[in-house]
Amino acid sequence: MRVGRGARNHFVMSERTRSTEQMLELNEDEANSTEHLDSQVQKAQEQLVLLKKQQEQIEKQKRELEELSRRQEELERGRAEMGDKLTRSLVVLEREAYDSQKKLEQIRATRESFEQHLALLESIDPKSWNPAELHKELSRALSAVDDARAEFSQQRSRLTASSDDSGEVALPEAAPEVGLGGGNGFTQWMQIGLALTLPLIVFATIALIIFLWMLSTAQ
């Protein structure tokens, strides 16, 4: 009876010990499992952080590429726009340069012509004329004036026709031609002719008086 009771007690103790060991093993497994889960969670968080950084980097590169694409489109539009404007402007400027050069040549020719006519008019000196050739000198001088007037009117019309409102050459109006009813111009020339012929008239009168006196004395 004592032996059976001792064996039973030993069995119970053995079972308790086994149960305790099993519980310790389960606790260790649970601890290992918890550590494993924590490690996995940590790795997942690290991966999320890395993915977030990669996403930010990709978005940054996307924005940079979009900005480059926008600037390239702006470059192409700007090149096309300014190329067209500059090309058309060069055509306009070339035409303006041609017209300006042509007008400048016309102005130079007109200036030379006016200088020649002015020099000819200024060279007219009625005081130096030979009284015997008064009519010839007057005709020559009047012809020079008429030529100057005709040239002036012709060149003025050409310059006015080749100029626009903003670039018109402001030449004075052409004076009316001198004729028999030419007013002050004709009167002036008559005064000049009278001044030149008066000495001849006086001389001829004195000569006639002397001739008549001599004739009466001879009789």
Three-class DSSP labels, 84-95: HHHHHHHHHHHH
Tell me which of 33 and 147 has the higher pLDDT.
147
> Does the structure show a pLDDT above 90 at 91?
yes
Residues 6+ apart with CB under 8 A from 180: 186
Helix, strand, coil share (%) of the chain residues, nearest 5:
85, 0, 15
Q: What is the mean pLDDT of the segment spanning 201-214?
A: 70
| Model confidence, pTM | 0.46
- The backbone torsions φ and ψ at residue 189, rounded to the nearest 5 degrees and listed phi first, read -65, -35
Estimate the crossing angle of helix 2-122 against helix 134-161, to 10 degrees.
170
What pLDDT score was predicted for residue 182? 43
What pLDDT score was predicted for residue 178? 44
pLDDT tier at 84, thresholds 50, 70, 90: very high
User: Using CA atoms, how far apart are residues 195 and 79, in angstroms rounded to an integer?
Assistant: 80
pLDDT tier at 43, thresholds 50, 70, 90: confident
User: Using CA atoms, how far apart are residues 212 and 218, in angstroms rounded to an integer?
Assistant: 10
Q: Whose structure tokens read 């993915």?
A: 51
What does pLDDT average to over the chain? 76
